[in-house]
Structure 1
């Protein structure tokens, strides 16, 4: 018999109407909860720097302030925060090593150290010293998680027991939540809106996870999410392979020649004007951005809109005929937007795409393959000539060598799909190595290169005649002066 698939977790927003007294008893738990997270994280950070592995269980039996059941939820949340930080640093470490000029033997040693999370292992050899230097650099850029900014209480069934309503009534579920008052739990109703959450059937108790997340907003509100579980889908073995390129001019372009989300950029430009006007008003009034409700609401509106668009478009792309999605790792940025809005959209879009792709893999069985995106938007589909001059602007592609024309985003998506067939080392090698290999392939496909554009000899990179003329003029001006 085949092995049973694992479990996939999802969360749904529910409303939890509370009177003022119950809401206050929940809110006063936030600061002690943060202090408990900080205590646990300091313990985990110390063990990690001493070269120890992340423990599966943190013994908090002698700690005060909470009951043992509450400490179990706090330590579990702290361990999840540290585990997320470690996984992100694994990706950063691997990227730095892969794009470095170190020899292959040293790279293999560093990859093994990174795989075991043994960056601070007490071993005095060249590889471990290099690993500690890399992690020192990464820690300057990415600090350990700061629990004092956390606004979420992640409660498991030990302290937030979800129970179906015994007598029917208005609310299908009730949550029994333990508070700081020993022996005085809160009984809170949970209202599930079937119109907003059609997949969460109140009568289906098998998919309900005994887990509750409560987030306290800066405006004084409270967001509650209910966790559910279901079996992971088996990987699809039949269907199409689709390459995806994402950006802002078109949110997604596919290797099949389709463009999605074409109206998002115009909407973002309108919000950008509102954001710039608001920031100027706040600067004149000497009001911080975090202190402005208007700024926080506009920020949230932009993030929610980008997230909804990403989910909507990926649902359209990932239909029943798709077996595999080939994607790149790039940010959502555009030169026509302000730096502040680009930062907001990049964070929201990147997180939304990552989360949605994980759900598509877990719930629909679609394989997600990531490739190196270097020069995918500059490589010609016909002759393989790679040059920034192939893209005269953001939307259009015209090869300087063979004259092939197409939409630039579709060219990038098609090249991303083609990268799927490349050797595994293509995902980690640097941009210069990829460019060198692409040039060799172009030389084989186009042996008569008399009509190909010239290259800059100092870098060996292809360039257009217009760029070369500008460079020659700048050099001439420098020598004459």
Structure 2
């Protein structure tokens, strides 16, 4: 792609992002007024209605002031005093998206609206989950929780005028105000989706993909309609080179494209939306016939994944991360000493890009191998924390931002392609609990890779023991990893072990007597011994 086409495409991308920001602000206003986003919002119609109201108000004031013998547009209701003050004109009585339509085109603005609505709905869906987590972690009674869950399900946090009922009983105002306070607190903790770096999702009204007939440097043309400086539409042809993944991708290619600008290098890439429903259905049926049941994975940085079958995958992951961390931290220190910012350094950006590619490749490679060999129907794993005290804060931040998104996307892809489901399990005390007898003690973990139970004597790799705990009914029955308090997990583990082993053990000495987790039980055991 030559420089002229690149400038025109980037100018269109800037206008696209500006229109998305304006439309997102309008949708947020709808959300706080009505409690929901309005996909049919037409700013031009809305402002025309506002303008009609203002003009009617002005005419009414003129008629009343001069006592004209003409019909009053809006008659004053009985018992109300006529207002002598002229109503102020609200700002922006014209379509606020009119400049964007002139810069992009009406069809492009419609695509922007659909993209923004999808992004905001996804954001609010995640905040609804946060709302449930907060309510479940509180001391609110069952009736109050039911009321709050109903409000949350109806997305009626801010629209207090809407009727919301629980079994035909109206929810009281106190619960409505509490729900609004909780959601306001959640929204204050999370940044709203930014439209400053989004890509363009365009369809056949704007873009068209064609195969190259005679070119040798590329095999595809993407013809995109852009606006020139005089706001006239013109079509530019962007050369594209396909890769092996695109060529081997099964399914029906749709006439929808995603145009993305890399935030680090500024390189523009194009993705083609593919409908893989029919091809993936065949794969899921073939996979289900060979599947071997649920499996569990324990995540770490020393060993990236350990399975409940004893597999240790990615054992060199942390060593490679340390090497990359040393390089990136050194470049960042050098740039900062020179008075610059690391992001402005091409060398720093190149190494960070290479790091993200390494993380993405390793996660996908290991999960692909695990699914191909073990063929799980369901993968149980803990809520992952991509951090390590052996790495710098900069490296931990990059790992956290990149790793979670890559893992979530890969698990979703496995579910779509093979029907493999994934569930998060509470990770509290999985590294201290024996997967054989259920005894929890921090002294069980003798070293990073060594686990030896002080109750039953079971000895195995610590990560494999944690993976077996994650896959056991003991931890799977606790509930979602996001909605369980750590102390509740410990109480459950201690109670279960005490119920199975009621009396104090003789020789060897009972390790529970010196275990802080069993302090309450140990005190009762000593008192009963003295009484006897």
What range is the shorter-chain TM-score in?
0.7 to 0.9
Distance in 2 separating the partners of 1:221 and 1:265: 30
> Per the alignment, in what secondary structure is the counterpart of residue 410 of structure 2?
helix
**Residues 93 and 420 (structure 1 numbering): CA distance in 2 closer, same or farther, change over 3 Å?**
farther
What residue number does 2:193 align with? 145
Deviates more, 1:19-28 or 1:323-332: 323-332
Superposition deviation, residue 145 in structure 1 = 1.4
What residue number does 1:90 align with? 128
What residue number does 1:215 align with? 261
What residue number does 1:23 align with? 6
> Per the alignment, in what secondary structure is the counterpart of residue 262 of structure 1?
coil
* CA distances 1:106-129 after superposition (whole Å, capped 9, x unpaired): 333333333333332316633332
Residues 1:107 and 2:162 are matched in the alignment: no
Residues 1:184 and 2:234 are matched in the alignment: yes
Q: Normalising by the residue count of structure 1, what TM-score does the alignment of the two structures yield?
A: 0.83
Distance in 2 separating the partners of 1:276 and 1:437: 43
Contact 2:208 2:255 in 1 (8 A): no
Residues 1:119 and 2:165 are matched in the alignment: no
1:277 aligned residue (316, 330, 336): 330
What residue number does 1:387 align with? 441
Q: Could you tell me which runs of 5 or more consecutive residues in structure 2 were left unpaired when the two chains were aligned.
A: 45-94, 162-171, 523-532
Distance in 1 separating the partners of 2:474 and 2:215: 54
> Per the alignment, in what secondary structure is the counterpart of residue 186 of structure 1?
strand
- Point out the structure with max Rg over C-alpha: 2
Residues 1:161 and 2:214 are matched in the alignment: no
* CA distances 1:373-409 after superposition (whole Å, capped 9, x unpaired): 2222221112211233322343222223333222221
Superposition deviation, residue 292 in structure 1 = 2.1
Distance in 2 separating the partners of 1:129 and 1:459: 42
**Residues 324 and 420 (structure 1 numbering): CA distance in 2 closer, same or farther, change over 3 Å?**
farther
What residue number does 1:8 align with? none
Q: Normalising by the residue count of structure 2, what TM-score does the alignment of the two structures yield?
A: 0.76
**Residues 210 and 163 (structure 1 numbering): CA distance in 2 closer, same or farther, change over 3 Å?**
farther
**Residues 114 and 245 (structure 1 numbering): CA distance in 2 closer, same or farther, change over 3 Å?**
farther
Superposition deviation, residue 422 in structure 1 = 4.3
Distance in 1 separating the partners of 2:160 and 2:314: 51
Q: How does 1:192-341 map to 2 (within 5 A)?
A: 192-194=242-244, 196-200=245-249, 206-231=252-277, 232-233=280-281, 234=284, 236=288, 238-319=291-372, 321-341=375-395
Distance in 2 separating the partners of 1:270 and 1:230: 39
Contact 2:425 2:475 in 1 (8 A): no
Contact 2:294 2:377 in 1 (8 A): yes
> Per the alignment, in what secondary structure is the counterpart of residue 348 of structure 2?
helix
Residues 1:375 and 2:422 are matched in the alignment: no
Higher relative contact order (CA 8 A, sep 6+): 1
* CA distances 1:323-356 after superposition (whole Å, capped 9, x unpaired): 2211221211212111211111122111111000
1:136 aligned residue (184, 194, 198): 184
Contact 2:356 2:402 in 1 (8 A): yes
> Per the alignment, in what secondary structure is the counterpart of residue 179 of structure 1?
strand
Distance in 1 separating the partners of 2:380 and 2:153: 24
Distance in 2 separating the partners of 1:131 and 1:461: 40
Distance in 2 separating the partners of 1:359 and 1:290: 31
**Residues 393 and 346 (structure 1 numbering): CA distance in 2 closer, same or farther, change over 3 Å?**
farther
**Residues 209 and 402 (structure 1 numbering): CA distance in 2 closer, same or farther, change over 3 Å?**
farther
Contact 2:199 2:261 in 1 (8 A): yes
What residue number does 2:36 align with? 53
Superposition deviation, residue 413 in structure 1 = 1.1
* CA distances 1:298-334 after superposition (whole Å, capped 9, x unpaired): 2222111111100000000112732221122121121
Deviates more, 1:324-333 or 1:388-397: 388-397
> Per the alignment, in what secondary structure is the counterpart of residue 212 of structure 1?
strand
Distance in 2 separating the partners of 1:405 and 1:115: 47
Distance in 1 separating the partners of 2:17 and 2:489: 46
Contact 1:121 1:128 in 2 (8 A): no
Contact 2:253 2:272 in 1 (8 A): no
**Residues 298 and 365 (structure 1 numbering): CA distance in 2 closer, same or farther, change over 3 Å?**
same
Contact 1:29 1:180 in 2 (8 A): yes
What residue number does 2:511 align with? 452
Distance in 2 separating the partners of 1:108 and 1:364: 36
In terms of fraction of residues, the more helix-rich structure is: 2
Q: How does 1:64-83 map to 2 (within 5 A)?
A: 64=98, 65=100, 66-83=104-121
Contact 2:424 2:480 in 1 (8 A): no
Distance in 2 separating the partners of 1:159 and 1:424: 51
* CA distances 1:152-192 after superposition (whole Å, capped 9, x unpaired): 22222221222344x46544432221212333111223221
Distance in 2 separating the partners of 1:407 and 1:333: 21
Superposition deviation, residue 151 in structure 1 = 4.7
> Per the alignment, in what secondary structure is the counterpart of residue 228 of structure 1?
strand
Distance in 2 separating the partners of 1:214 and 1:339: 29
Superposition deviation, residue 424 in structure 1 = 6.8
* CA distances 1:219-259 after superposition (whole Å, capped 9, x unpaired): 34222222222115347375221101112111111111101
Deviates more, 1:377-386 or 1:248-257: 377-386
